[in-house]
Amino acid sequence: MTVTQVPLRPIARGSLVKLWLAIALLVIAAFALARFGTSSFQFETTASGIQFRTIAPGTGDRIKAVDGVYLEYDGRLPDGKVFDSTQGKPVPMIPQQVIPGFSEALQMMQKGGQYTVRIPAALGYGANVPPGGPIPPNSDLIFDVKIIEVIPNAALMQQQGPPPGAMPPGQ
């Protein structure tokens, strides 16, 4: 044997099995980390096709179609162009009075929650977009929504009017 030769020792019995077992465990750990580490970025898809993601959960009952809601939102197109925004100022809304996809999504939300919703064109405006508006026909819509306040049965109160003997607003 010369000085430049390095003697190779035989691999201990079972070392190769341990090596493959370690590699398999690393692959499983990487898959689990990728799956569960990205769960907050994944959307639930409803039967109607709305994609819904909870950013921060709310509290209390889910919003009903006849409830009044004060919310903040940013609406954008799939290319990222913002077509509507409350600019951080709460606006009132009643779920039964908005486009079907937004109504369905609101009814999955709770007071104090933050959500991202993707509404397919068929549940948005479809081909019948508001004239002169920034939304192209048959465009999906994406909304980032924050629920500020929920007023139970606000639509029913609107229909019935003020209770007897109530003062008109401003008096």
Query: How many Å separate Cα 107 from the centre of its chain?
Result: 13
pLDDT of 135: 93
pLDDT tens sequence across 102-154: 999 999 999 999 999 999 999 999 999 988 889 999 999 999 999 999 999 88
* 145 touches 88 (CB < 8 A): no
Mean pLDDT computed over 42-49: 88
pLDDT of 163: 55
Domains and CATH numbers, the chain: 44-158 (3.10.50.40)
* 110 touches 55 (CB < 8 A): no
Q: For the chain, what is the mean pLDDT?
A: 86
